[in-house]
Structures are given as C-alpha cells and as structure tokens.
Amino acid sequence: MTGSETVTLAIVLGSLVLAVLCFFWRRKLVQKLNAQEEPDKKTKRKKLWATILMVAMGWLFATQLLTFLFGPAEGEGLHVEIAASRVELLGFSVSSTVITTWIAMGGILLGALAIRLFLIPRMKDQPRGLQNVLEIAVESVSKYTDEKSGHLGENLAAYIFSVATLMIGCAVIELFGVRAPTADITMTFAMALITFILINYYGIKKKGVGGRIKSLADPTPVVLPLRMISDIAVPVSLACRLFGNMLGGMIVMDLLYSAMGNLAVGVPSLVGLYFNAFHPLIQAYIFVTLTLTFINEAVE
C-alpha cells in the first residue's frame, strides 16, 4: 500500500472509532438531560458539541472510505448538453427523456391503479391516513381551479391535477440521477402547446371563431397583429420558463457533484432539498396558475 492509501485507511479507522465514541457520549448526555427537571445550559451545550462531532466524524468516515475503495476522483470537466441524448426506438430517433417520461407515467399509473383497487372500496365517512391525504390534494386543486375559472366544468380541474402530478413525478425521477424530463425543451413545449390548444378551445367554445378574433381586436383593430403575437408568446414563455428553471437546477447540482468529487456525501442532499424537491413544486404551481389565468382571460 502506498503512503497516501495508508493515511486514508488511518483516517477511516480513526474517524469510525471517534464517531462511535461520540455516539455513546451523546447517548449518556441525553439520558442525563432527561433525568433532570430543568435541563441546564452546560449539558445542552455539551450535547450540541457531541452531535456536531459525531456528524462530522461520520461524514469523514464515509468520504474517506469512498476514497479508499475507489481511489481519488478524477478531475473531469463538467459536460452540459442542452438537448438530451437521443436513442433509437423502432426506427424513430427519440430523446432519452421520452423513455424517462414513460417510466414516470408508468409509476403514476401503477400508483393510481393501486389506490383505485385497494383504497377506494374501503373509504370511510371519517377519513384517516392515506384517504385524508388524497382528499386534501384533490380538494385543494379543485378549489383552486374553481376560484379561478369554476364555470368551465370539472374536466379542467382533472386535467390540471394530472399535469401537476406529472410534473411532480418528473421531479421525483430526477432524484434517481437521470436527466429530468422537464429539463427538455421538447417536453415543456408540448405541455405549453396543450395549454395553447385549451385556451383557444375554451375561447372558441364561448364566443365562436369570429368572436374570438374580434376579442383580439378589442379597443381598435390596429392592435390585432400585436395581440396575435403576444398570444403566440404565451406558450413560448411558458415552455422557456419551465425549461430554463429545471435546466438551471440540474446545472447547479452537476456543478456541485463535479466540484466536490469524493467529498459529496451528505451535502448534495441538503442542496438537493431545494433544487430537486421545492423548486419543481413552485414551478408546477406557476405553470398551473398561468394556464388558468390565460384560460380565464380568453373566456371573459
């Protein structure tokens, strides 16, 4: 074994021993704290130190174990592609995000089938557990759609719920290391195109084709070309917003992983809590809100 490997092995064993010792020390402090009526500050501060030292030694153990087993990380550059890689499928050349979307859709469909087969026959009047969660989700989306454009029927609320579930499913798929499907301009453009079709469908259903064109020429007919261009800008901006946000999150996480190399054990999951869990939810909310706002604007 070379010199640096010996040092790494020493750090691995030393940090493991220290972590176990800190764990037992912390447990003794917690027992002492529970035995007192009012916990005193000195013991609390010692427990804080024990926790910090235990977590730090655990992190050091994990990273040095990785370095010992797999060698130091090669310093490769960061490669980012805007368009996803393409695969061959039955003579067509499709993006790899199509396959990922099918996997997400399959997961969601299996979950829905399981809920339909096992949960719905057993629903009670007083909900508890999973039925409660399901009722809260469906009711909040339904109420949100109703307060924006309730007079258009319930099918719109069902479509909005499925679009939001698909976006959340894509965010969950990203946790497994593959490229998120919403980080592909073709997928977000397809979703924005559906929004565009819905806007025009509801507008034409309410006002007729002539009425819709006349509503675009509202104050004076001079603004008709400008309003048409800004109508086309709506799905383009929806697609670009979702794509840019998801791509930016993916680039930041890739940068973090490639910069930390072998030290990326616990820290990326904290950063990923924002970029992979919270940010896609906000973007799904924005997409849904803007869809409903534009549909409402086309109908009134």
Q: What residue ranges bind other proteins (CB under 8 A)?
A: 80-82, 237, 240-241, 243-245, 247-248, 282-283, 285-286, 289-290, 293
Whether residue 280 contacts residue 170, with contact meaning beta carbons closer than 8 Å, is answered with yes
Q: Concatenated DSSP letters for 56-80?
A: HHHHHHHHHHHHHHH-SPP-PPP--
d(CA 44, CA 114): 47
Residue whose CB is less far from other proteins, 81 or 88? 81
Closest CA to 291 of 249, 244, 243, 239: 239
Whether residue 191 contacts residue 163, with contact meaning beta carbons closer than 8 Å, is answered with yes
Residue whose CB is less far from other proteins, 10 or 282? 282
Residue whose CB is less far from other proteins, 83 or 110? 83
Residue whose CB is less far from other proteins, 72 or 248? 248
Q: Considering the complex, what minimum distance in angstroms separates the CB of residue 216 from other proteins? A: 21
Q: What's at 155, amino acid-wise?
A: N
Q: Considering the complex, what minimum distance in angstroms separates the CB of residue 285 from other proteins? A: 7
Q: Considering the complex, what minimum distance in angstroms separates the CB of residue 142 from other proteins? A: 17
Beta bridge partners of 95: 86
Q: Which two tokens stand for residue 223?
A: 């603004």
Closest CA to 202 of 284, 145, 285, 164: 145
Residue whose CB is less far from other proteins, 213 or 256? 256
Residue whose CB is less far from other proteins, 161 or 287? 287
Residue whose CB is less far from other proteins, 269 or 293? 293
d(CA 62, CA 70): 12
Q: Considering the complex, what minimum distance in angstroms separates the CB of residue 63 from other proteins? A: 32
d(CA 173, CA 11): 35
d(CA 104, CA 176): 12
Residue whose CB is less far from other proteins, 166 or 247? 247
Q: Which two tokens stand for residue 264?
A: 């990326």
d(CA 97, CA 174): 11
Sign of the torsion angle spanned by Cα atoms 42, 48, 52, 57 = positive
Q: Considering the complex, what minimum distance in angstroms separates the CB of residue 232 from other proteins? A: 15
Exposed, middle or buried, 52 (CB in 10 Å: 0-12/13-18/19+)?
Answer: exposed
Q: Considering the complex, what minimum distance in angstroms separates the CB of residue 289 from other proteins? A: 6
Q: Considering the complex, what minimum distance in angstroms separates the CB of residue 243 from other proteins? A: 7
Q: Considering the complex, what minimum distance in angstroms separates the CB of residue 267 from other proteins? A: 24
